[in-house]
Structure 1
Amino acid sequence: MSFLAQAAPAPEAGYKIVTASKTGTYIQIGRDLSTLVAAPAGIELQVLESNGSAENVRRMRFEPGVKLALVQSDVYQAFLDEAKAGNADAGNIIRPLRLIMPLYDEEIYFIVRADSPINSIHEIKNKKIGVGPLGSGTALTSRTAYQLMFGEPLPTENTQYLTNEEALAKLTVDKSLDVVIIVAGQPAKLFMDMKAEARNYIKILKLDEAAPETARAKKTYFPGVLRASSYSTWLKDDVPTLTVKAYLVTYDYGLQSTVGNLTRFADSLCTQFDKLQASGHPKWKQVRLELPALSQGWRYYAPMEKRLRACIARRTALSAPPSAAATPPSRACTEQELVLGICRR
């Protein structure tokens, strides 16, 4: 047998997906999609690091080869709001983008020093805060949550745009920050890598359901729990917090070859979904294979939506218990039925 005959077939398409930092959850989700979904569909999917959701939206729109992106719901909505308010750039960026499906809720970590006098999220007003890099979903989430809770913008003089690692260093080493905000689905590598001694330096603020600031934040965000089991080396107790939804996003492609590749990706996403939940990042276990109704301005990518809905329907039919044959209501038999021996009660 010749070498050419033994070689594996080349992928039919080479695409890219933008995720987030190497210590976050998005990049692990991207790797799962690359190996467990794209590869079986004949697509070589390159997983790219980024600063996060806001950058991902722009790269999804303009960077050659980027066909998929992971984006937070509040970031997507912020672009839509800007477009509705008349921002032409925002409209040019967001209007051609389409959703593939919702994924999972990402937890928001509000981190302070272990000796900080504050213990609850609503106590961060007027503190010096590290909000994530410019262009990141974390930065937008930080600003949006602060605005919702306190009815005023996060003060510029109290805001620093830093990577997670840089912000934690400034929090714990030179103590020039009071709070660090990080958005990452648990378990996140950044926190999993921390040793038991971490509890001597940092703690996570709790969501106080009784605080009026919490009620205001919940207009956009949702309550969640950071589980001690996710970070068992250093986190002693579960911590209530806020969450934001993550989405898988693409563009409204019309080129036949691209449509064909992405519909194959959709078929593979559905057929490989059980494997994603069994072998992928633990967050896949929270994903439901469904396409819920969307808010105004949000749209699914029609070719992939059609294939996903058809596959979801097939999976539902296969998993449904067999229906019992309909039993006619009991009635008295006629004399003729008795004579013929076909009486059924």
Structure 2
Amino acid sequence: MFKIILAGCVGLVLASSAALADNAHYKIVTGPERGTYIQIGADLAKWVAPQAGIDLEVMPSKGSAENVQRMRFEPGVKLALVQSDVYQAYVDMANSGNADAGTTIRPLRLIMPLYDEEIYFVVRADSPLKTINEIKNQNMSVGLIGSGTAQSATTLYRLMFGTPVPDQYAQHLSNEDALAALIVKKIDVAVIVAGQPARLFTDMNPELLQQIRVLRLDPAAPETARAKQTYFPATIRVSSYPNWLKQDVPTLTVKAFLVTYDYNLRGTVGNLNRFADSLCTNFDNLQEHGHPKWKQVKMELPNLGKGWKYYPPVEKRLRACFAHKTAVAATNGPGPATTDDPAKSPKRPCTDEERLLLLCGGKQ
């Protein structure tokens, strides 16, 4: 009898091990370890991937531009979180004739839009600056090269003031280093992109937190009108940071997207289809148990701009599922598939924008 029971236990262990071995092992590239992206990735790994038969490894990164590069070229990376302005910058550069940008972005596909990320213009509490349009020619951290923050900060500056951030005023620091440099007066402004509530601020030492504040968006400023050509008004809420803010702060925002590649291998397509089904099935769990930003995500696939394409197999599954759950059918067709081709290093001097998008090979 003991042998029969033992044999049965061994059989269960072997069956369980075989089931685990059958799981696909995928990676998702996210963002800094105290940012919002990495928490969104962890939510997908916990609530969505297991039901799809996927072991999803959540990988930290500098941010969106690095994520695009790793999504395109790093083995095992099947999913990425990318800011809309970074994705658009690649599309624009590809359309302008940059071969490396085209090689990088054209095979990438969107799974779905997620939520808006707030843009924080942080200054010291005793700073004379009050509004975002006053940051011209201030010593500032615009984010690490390869981060979405760097793209947003430099794009916003160019839109507002009609000129790039002057080299003598720009530093490329991580979020944590930027806040530290701000407090010790090495810089005057730290630009940070993060969905609220961001752990960067909620986990910060309360005494240090009281030494910094966020600049407000002035709706009447001409610089604001120019910034709104690409970005949208948003509010950083007291409820997100009750130990820091005394009132809501108007600011700007950028959209986050879940991105994949135009895969056509049967196994990968099947895994991503199951991921899409699980994403739809577990959407309520994400909104209830995941990061608060999930509450802003809508079950819809809006029409896309030129050069932006959904991943066709997943798009079909999500549209059917969303239509079933919301009784509203969306209409947007996928673009033609593209083929892979090797990247080539630019043979001319590297521009500042190419450098931010990591399109310059070793030249940083």
- Under a length normalisation based on structure 2, what TM-score does the superposition of the two structures give? 0.85
1:152-163 to 2 correspondence within 5 Å?
152-163=163-174
Q: Is the 8 A contact 2:201 2:209 kept in 1?
A: no
1:271-310 to 2 correspondence within 5 Å?
271-310=281-320
Pair 1:218-2:228 in alignment: yes
Pair 1:2-2:38 in alignment: no
* Aligned mate of 2:143, from 109, 122, 132: 132
| Higher CA-based Rg | 1
Q: Is the 8 A contact 1:199 1:235 kept in 2?
A: no
Pair 1:147-2:158 in alignment: yes
| Residue 251 of structure 1, CA deviation | 0.3
Q: Is the 8 A contact 2:28 2:41 kept in 1?
A: yes
The Cα offsets for residues 25-69 of structure 1, whole Å up to 9 and x where unpaired, read as 000000000110001111000000000000000000000000000
Pair 1:90-2:101 in alignment: yes
| Residue 195 of structure 1, CA deviation | 4.2
Cross-structure match for 1:179:
189
Pair 1:103-2:118 in alignment: no
| Residue 197 of structure 1, CA deviation | 2.6
- Under a length normalisation based on structure 1, what TM-score does the superposition of the two structures give? 0.90
Q: Report the 3-state secondary structure (helix = DSSP H, G, I; strand = E; otherwise coil) of the residue aligned with 1:109.
A: strand
5+ long unaligned stretches in structure 2: 1-7, 329-364
Could you tell me how far apart the structure 2 residues matched to 1:284 and 1:314 are?
Answer: 20
17-26 or 191-200: bigger deviation: 191-200
How many equivalent residue pairs? 317
Could you tell me how far apart the structure 1 residues matched to 2:30 and 2:322 are?
Answer: 26
Q: Which runs of 4+ in 1 moved over 3 A?
A: none
1:51-90 to 2 correspondence within 5 Å?
51-90=62-101
Cross-structure match for 1:331:
none
Cross-structure match for 1:339:
none
Cross-structure match for 2:332:
none
Q: Report the 3-state secondary structure (helix = DSSP H, G, I; strand = E; otherwise coil) of the residue aligned with 2:48.
A: helix
Classify 1:35/1:48 alpha carbon distance in 2 versus 1 (closer, same or farther; 3 Å).
Answer: same
Pair 1:20-2:27 in alignment: no
Could you tell me how far apart the structure 1 residues matched to 2:288 and 2:145 are?
Answer: 35
Q: Is the 8 A contact 2:232 2:252 kept in 1?
A: yes
163-172 or 44-53: bigger deviation: 163-172
| Residue 317 of structure 1, CA deviation | 3.9
Q: CA RMSD in A?
A: 1.2
Could you tell me how far apart the structure 2 residues matched to 1:44 and 1:241 are?
Answer: 37
Q: Is the 8 A contact 2:234 2:253 kept in 1?
A: yes
Could you tell me how far apart the structure 2 residues matched to 1:71 and 1:89 are?
Answer: 18
5+ long unaligned stretches in structure 1: 319-345
Could you tell me how far apart the structure 2 residues matched to 1:17 and 1:259 are?
Answer: 16
